[in-house]
Chains A and B, each alone.
Chain A
Amino acid sequence: MKGSGNGRALVELVDVAKTFDVSPPLLNRLLEGKSRALLRAVNGVDMAIARGETFGLVGESGCGKSTVARLIVGLYRPTRGQIRYDGKRIDNLGAAPALRRNMQMIFQDPYASLNPRWRVAEIIAEPLRTHANGDALAKKDIEERVGGLLRQVGLAPADGEKYPHQFSGGQRQRISIARALAGRPAFLVCDEPTSALDVSVQAQVLNLMRKLQRDMGLTYLFISHNLAVVHHIADRVAVMYLGRVVEQAPTKRLFGFPQHPYTRMLLDAVPDLELSGKARTAVAGEVPNPLSPPRGCAFHPRCPYANERCRNEIPKLKPARGWGGEMTDVACHGVEEGRIPARMTLHA
């Protein structure tokens, strides 16, 4: 499973950007002299997700990670750039439907993502009906398949007769997973799938997702703000800050030898269960307003190593030689110029 994309990537993003126009209405602009406002939610992201891997995407609220998810599954169209699935473009509507069947999405809130008026069996069967390729499946086949899916996610086939409100949060997330798997997808986009769940239930869902990946050879894009969860489940991780990827590396390397000052800051901010007594470095400042991001590197106002170049020039994501000579993709002038002290974390 661990691999850095030998051969062709299953999902590929090339310089993808998504800009939302959040300008005040035209009349207000004319009368009150307000200007146009553009929110660059995703601003030139390159990413390649290999077949069979779990690609983790982390960042704080508003960094654009959910927008990336929505762009990939086609809920938004990119303002710029290309998204490819198995080498074929899926960012334009024309080619999409047949390819889109291969990807499904799991959402954060299992209370909002299931129709409360439908029985669970109907919910899970819906993708079977809509993606049936024209030839309707026999009722009996659908029933059988739904029963099988329920068993796969650890529920009983008889649970199909119940309504979503009769299940707990964790069980509902299992239902969401069963629905996502109904169309036999190869690729699942999971947007904070366990963030609304209690830890013991989160463990059940994470273990289930791993098992399904092993059994069915699935590829995951796993989005979370919880670094420990991503550390547990992902093979490779990308860290986003204000619409850009700032660092990307195999999980072990990213957590063991973080390069970008923001990545280091995030890792330092995670509460330490080992009670090692290390003081958490309180990080000054907050994420800037994305409507008026800082010039140059978006992280420079919070970065202890920022200099003139950081304030003016946007750093590109480039391979940098990290600890032990291994390469990590980092977008930081400081790392490139070698003026950021090397550091090993406790997490190695």
Chain B
Amino acid sequence: MTPLLAVDRLRVEFPTRHGTLVAVDGVSLSIAPGEVLGVVGESGAGKSLTGAAIIGLIDPPGRIGAGEVRLGDRRIDNLAPEEMRRVRGREIGAVFQDPLTSLNPLYTIGRQLVETITTHLDLSMRAARRRALDLLGEVGIPAPERRFHHYPHQFSGGMRQRVVIALALAAQPKLIIADEPTTALDVSIQAQIIALLKRLCREHGAAVMLITHDMGVIAETADRVAVMYAGRVVEVGPVADVIHRPQHPYSKGLMGSIPSIVAEREELAQIEGVMPRLDAIPPGCAFHPRCPCAFDRCKKERPELMNAGATRSACWLVVQ
């Protein structure tokens, strides 16, 4: 099956006075139609920038330095801004962390929905309005007719995120990029939003790229997961394998450091040190200074993703 989205050796860089910083360094990913791909990593790993690069929202002076992004059989990383705007919303929907910043505080949510719908779909105002009301009902907003005329500040955080999801789905895109969609919400609301996102994407047949630092959310939602570290994908595979049988030492450390409400542990696994800054990414494998199993080759040669059990891991231990 041809993937819905194929990212090939994507590189995002920021020119500075002291040289070029590479924030995303040769990332390759693919998402099949209807699939949920989780992208997990700690702050600064480049996961959000990868998502932003796919929808063409890298702020200058940042730029895509190399690689390509294909949606179906069409290349989208080199589109003119005007064309990209049509792809965004129509073919790729986006949900961001803070629902308050993705909504315009000066317009009613009804107006924002109708505007999005009429921009992307050829519908009359009446039909667009009906569709907007349907969407609000679908995302679980009580009394849509009344809420239609309300402003974003009149909604709670969870309700706002529902509105943002309605906006993302408005034009029936094939792919949703969700960047930390539940991070700003309380756990009980988080569960509601995740369940909603899952159900709607299944019903609409949309694929999801779910970017988050929360392994729990990934475990519940994703089919496959990619683990990022210092701008690179270090491991990718089916979600159960990456969580329970991680191959890369970084993924192992990451999984071990998550406290659980099930297991009783005296000490959490600890990865010593911190992720390197962008201007000081070590040569070879970027993880080697913190890796308990690093050997000579790791310091010199950069490992690519290799088959390792059920997953693919960018680690020299695989061929050792």
Residues of chain A whose beta carbon lies under 8 Å from any beta carbon of chain B: 60-61, 168-171, 198-204, 206-207, 210, 225-229, 231-233, 255, 265-275, 280-283, 286-287, 346-347
Contact = CB atoms under 8 A, between A and B. Distances in A.
Given A203-B256, A227-B187, 20 more contacts: A60-B186, A198-B43, A198-B213, A203-B259, A203-B268, A225-B187, A227-B261, A228-B260, A232-B260, A233-B259, A270-B187, A271-B190, A271-B194, A271-B216, A273-B258, A275-B239, A280-B195, A283-B191, A286-B188, A347-B262
Contacts of A201: 42, 274
B258 A228 contact: yes
Interface in B35-56: 42-43
B219 A275 contact: yes
22 contacts: A61-B186, A199-B258, A203-B268, A203-B269, A204-B272, A207-B270, A228-B260, A231-B260, A255-B261, A267-B261, A269-B187, A270-B187, A271-B190, A271-B194, A273-B215, A275-B240, A281-B191, A282-B192, A283-B192, A286-B156, A286-B188, A347-B262
Nearest to B257: A203
Contacts of B254: 199-200
Contacts of B267: 207, 210
Contacts of B317: none
B interface residue count range (under 10 / 10 to 19 / 20 to 34 / 35 or more): 35 or more
B262 A202 contact: no
A28 B257 CA distance: 53
Contact of A199 (B187, B215, B217): B215
A228 B257 contact: no
B100 to A, nearest CB: 14
Contact of A232 (B194, B265, B269): B265
A60 B213 CA distance: 20
A66 to B, nearest CB: 14
B191 A229 contact: no
Contacts of B74: none
Contacts of B223: none
A231 B186 contact: no
Contact of A203 (B190, B214, B219, B270): B270
Interface of B: 42-43, 156, 158-159, 186-192, 194-195, 213-217, 219-220, 239-240, 243-244, 253-254, 256-262, 265, 267-272, 274
B187 A198 contact: no
A231 B258 CA distance: 12
Which of B43, B187, B189, B260 is packed against the most chain A CB atoms within 10 Å? Answer: B187
A168 B257 contact: no
Contacts of B190: 269, 271
B253 A346 contact: no
Contacts of A275: 219, 239-240, 243-244
